[in-house]
């Protein structure tokens, strides 16, 4: 049932809705994973990584809200329920218990890279469907790539 009428034609609305829903799930999963790591990180770089994880969480949550509101503006009901995130998300989860700082860095680099790869596919998919959504996805990609770079530099051998 469509409660709100979209300004997009139905085929474009479907493509855009799929891109936004997938991105919403990725961002919510990323925020949960980063917060879990935030609570459990240990090691010599605890403080800097602990604080950097909060930046990832804040950014992912903020973008998740923007993505959900974009979907709603297009007449697409966003689904950020825990059941949906757990059932359709693909963000790697940290292991249970304490996490060594180097493990956390590697986990974040991998999770951010996977999210960026999926976002780039969604950017391509929305090129003809909705340039406004494509622009939003480009912004999110740039932000996640910056976070990935910062975490990747943490484990650099140089």
Instruction: Give the contacts of 65 (CB within 8 A, at least 6 positions apart).
Output: none
- Residues 57, 35: contact at Cβ < 8 Å? yes
pLDDT, one tens digit per residue, over 73-86 is 999 999 999 999 99
Strands (E), the chain: 41-42, 99-100
pLDDT, one tens digit per residue, over 24-63 is 999 999 999 999 999 999 999 999 999 999 999 999 999 9
């Amino acid at each position: 049932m469509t409660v709100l009428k979209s300004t997009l034609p139905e085929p474009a609305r479907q493509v855009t809705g799929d891109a936004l829903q997938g991105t919403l799930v990725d961002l919510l999963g990323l925020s949960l994973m980063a917060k879990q790591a935030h609570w459990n990180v240990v090691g010599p770089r605890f403080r800097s990584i602990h604080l950097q994880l909060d930046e990832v969480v804040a950014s992912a949550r903020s973008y998740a809200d923007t993505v959900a509101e974009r979907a709603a503006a297009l007449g697409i009901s966003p689904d950020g329920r825990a059941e949906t995130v757990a059932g359709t998300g693909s963000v790697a989860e940290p292991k249970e218990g304490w996490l060594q700082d180097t493990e956390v860095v590697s986990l974040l680099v991998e999770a951010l890279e996977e999210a960026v790869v999926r976002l780039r596919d969604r950017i391509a998919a929305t090129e003809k469907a909705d340039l406004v959504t494509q622009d939003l996805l480009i912004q999110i990609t740039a932000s996640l790539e910056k976070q990935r770079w910062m975490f990747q530099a943490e484990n650099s051998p140089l």
